[in-house]
Chain A
Amino acid sequence: MSSRREAYARKLDLARGCVEIGHGGGGRAMAQLIEELFLAAFDNDWLRAQDDCARLTVPTGRLVMATDSHVVSPLFFPGGDIGCLSVHGTLNDVAMAGARPLYLAAGFILEEGFPLADLKRIVESMARAARDAEVPIVTGDTKVVERGKGDGVFITTTGIGVIPAGVDISANRARPGDAVLLSGSLGEHGMAVLAQRENLSFDAPIESDSAALHGLVATMVTAVPDIHCLRDPTRGGLSSALNEIARQSGVGMRLREAAIPVKEPVRALCEFLGLDPLYVANEGKLLAICPAEAADTLLAAMRAHPLGREATLIGEVVADPHGFVEMETVFGGRRLVDWLSGEQLPRIC
């Protein structure tokens, strides 16, 4: 790699330079961008081979594959950026099948004029997230679109993983009587991004909860191999995740509002804007549905892991032909926790 890099007349100006159309053109400029930025950050044997694909050794068993595109605005927010988010998001999609993630692929769509310094920050954040997760980024792609035709950076990541023997986790396996568990408090990612986007500053800043959850999942499936469903409540929040599971499994849910953790700064900002934390995005939380008799064991396993310390039992699965997700309010009344319609919009007065 180093001998190739010396072939370039001048090094990339990663402090003051910006993305140019040529960086996606397939020529020397693109090769330089890949070598001096992506290869340097993600460095591993698969990438060093510099083929258009990665040759992978995989264990026997069922493979899981997931892909996710990341278009977050702003690109940098308290607690994270699009780089680490693009790693965590896809690792979590793989992990929600109970799988151990093995490899990642990354595709970049860059906008002409985007500062290379910002791109470097993003790539280094991705590299750090992948290293921490012990999942290498083994292949990738880069395209450049003209100025005005992108939003700085779009990143698509694809992950594959393998499901341990005896694990069968799917959104169609929730059964009446099952317990519904949540790994921690809601809404931190969505409100951190919104606060940053709208320049809302508060005494207690909200940080994104962006995190890779496969370690927590590994702990959970070891403790309770018969987990029925796992889901990370990302866009659409807890409500969408539960409604998806209810629909796929043909069941209803009963939640207890008092058991659902929401941190004070998130609650305050949601109040301020008239938003419901149940609908706000998370990037480091998961929902688990398991047989009632395994709930205590699973809860204990979750709480023993750093990412599940605040895990709680938030409700149960019920038989309901309508597939309603209902909630007992803190008042003792009942309400529906419905699908999100369009976007959550701030109220007028």
Chain B
Amino acid sequence: MKYLDEFRDGRLAQGLAARIRREIEPDRRYALMEFCGGHTHAICRYGIEDLLPAEVRLIHGPGCPVCVLPSGRLQAAIDLVERERVILCSYGDLLRVPGAQGDTLLKAKARGADVRMVYSVSDALEIARAQPDRSVVFFAIGFETTTPPTAVVLRQARREELGNFSVYCNHVLTPPALRALLATDFSSPHQEAATRGAGVVNGFIGPAHVSTIIGTRAYEFVATEYRRPLVIAGFEPLDVLQSILMLVRQLNAGEVRVENEYTRAVGAEGNRKAQQLMEEVFEIRPSFEWRGLGELPNSALAIRPEFADWDAERRFAVPAIQASDHKACACGEVLRGVKRPEECKVFATACTPDHPLGSCMVSAEGACAAHYHYGRFRQAVAS
């Protein structure tokens, strides 16, 4: 397949892996965090860890939009669809994410709520057009990648004066989350020994799709303020291996730069038009809760007052629900890279993709789900 097979060539992968092995300095450790769930998925699906030397360790970060949605916001959506009898449209993975007490949108659907899976936000708009007598709410989540399409549809709804359509906005921003990870001080020797937090991450594999929107410049602070190298990488397995090699080279040379491996799609400034769209339709929330990371300032988007009529939170007074995650669930630590999925005591026992206790076990991009589906045999061998 054009533009895909080139990035999945097994021989090239073996060559890259050999080069990584050659360039590794044996007394150095290379703890690299892939920030994006898409990378986690690619790493597990292609068995990339099997190609890497022991000195290189990959740590999963908080870059799965489904995983970082706090259960309170999910529960609020369940309450909304059941109380207001709206048609609630969302992307597939969200339907299985547990809210408070393990309730999910799929369970609400089984109870009779009108919950519909859509492939894009424009599908939700189409449902609203087709059913003018029903109120349609789109449950919007995702990083900067999925935000511009939501903006386009909100503008369209306003242009058409579509009174029965609104958006429950849960879009979040990547750089504040990265900043929160980096600001965690795990630098003391004691803590370094006791934890494996972001403080001991030597370098970052930066987001692919998100960067097409915000550009490489948005990550400069990682190098300048926090002295960590970061390589923007595409989601194909060869992209990931190439970016690991680039990080290894930077670390060996003592360099700290933002590099771009994904040059075929990402530029320094990103997509200006998409940024303008986001600016026109959304404003930054002063604070937003992230699962695993807590309240982060300026880390999420709300719909601007000019679009208030299409803002589900204004139209329906969506309650602010504080719901704590299951006590045994270590999603928070997994999302911060402090724990590996298999170190969570309910991983693959009480928490499985069929009966998830936490969000990381739901999405295909969640670290726990990726480990469960693709890498569980390693745990079995170890035990």
Contacts and interface: CB of A to CB of B under 8 A. Distances in A.
Interface in A296-349: 322, 324, 326, 328-336, 338, 341-343, 345-349
Contacts of B117: 345
A332 B13 contact: yes
Nearest to A327: B47
Contacts of B48: 331, 333
B363 interface: yes
B1 A267 contact: yes
Interface string A261-279: 0001001100101100000
Contact of A334 (B50, B209, B354, B373): B50
Interface residues of B, number: 46
A206 to B, nearest CB: 14
Contacts of A347: 92-93, 363-365
A198 interface: yes
A49 interface: no
Contacts of A349: 38, 65, 142-143, 145-146, 209
Contacts of A345: 91-93, 95-96, 117, 364
B354 A341 contact: yes
B341 interface: no
Contact of B44 (A322, A326, A335, A342): A335
Nearest to A322: B380
Nearest to A347: B364
Contact of B51 (A258, A268, A331, A342): A331
Q: Choose among A267, A273, A341 the residue with the greatest number of B CB atoms under 10 Å from its CB.
A: A341
A161 to B, nearest CB: 34
A334 B45 CA distance: 8
A346 B46 contact: no
B244 to A, nearest CB: 13
A342 B38 CA distance: 21
B92 A335 contact: no
Nearest to B65: A348
Interface in B359-383: 363-365, 372-377, 380
A341 B354 CA distance: 6
B93 to A, nearest CB: 5
Contact of A333 (B49, B373, B380): B49
A326 B47 CA distance: 11
Given A332-B50, A333-B47, A348 B363 contact: yes
A109 B375 CA distance: 44
Report the interface size class on chain A.
20 to 34
A273 B120 CA distance: 11
Contacts of B1: 264, 267-268, 271
Contacts of A333: 46-51
Contact of A336 (B13, B91, B237, B375): B375
Contacts of A198: 119
A348 B141 contact: yes
B196 to A, nearest CB: 23
B14 interface: yes
Contacts of A342: 96, 353-354
B206 to A, nearest CB: 15
Given A329-B47, A347-B93, A348-B363, A336 B10 contact: no
Nearest to B354: A341
B302 to A, nearest CB: 20
B217 interface: no
A331 B380 contact: no
Given A335-B47, A336-B374, A348-B93, 11 more contacts: A264-B1, A324-B377, A329-B47, A331-B47, A331-B237, A333-B51, A334-B377, A338-B372, A345-B93, A346-B92, A349-B145
Interface of B: 1, 4, 8-10, 13-14, 38, 44-51, 65-66, 91-96, 117, 119, 141-143, 145-146, 209, 237, 352-354, 363-365, 372-377, 380
25 contacts: A267-B4, A271-B4, A322-B377, A324-B380, A329-B10, A330-B8, A331-B14, A332-B10, A332-B14, A332-B51, A333-B49, A333-B50, A334-B47, A335-B46, A335-B47, A342-B353, A345-B93, A345-B95, A345-B96, A346-B91, A346-B92, A348-B141, A348-B363, A348-B365, A349-B142
6 closest A-B pairs by beta carbon, nearest first, are A333-B47, A345-B92, A341-B353, A333-B50, A335-B374, A349-B145
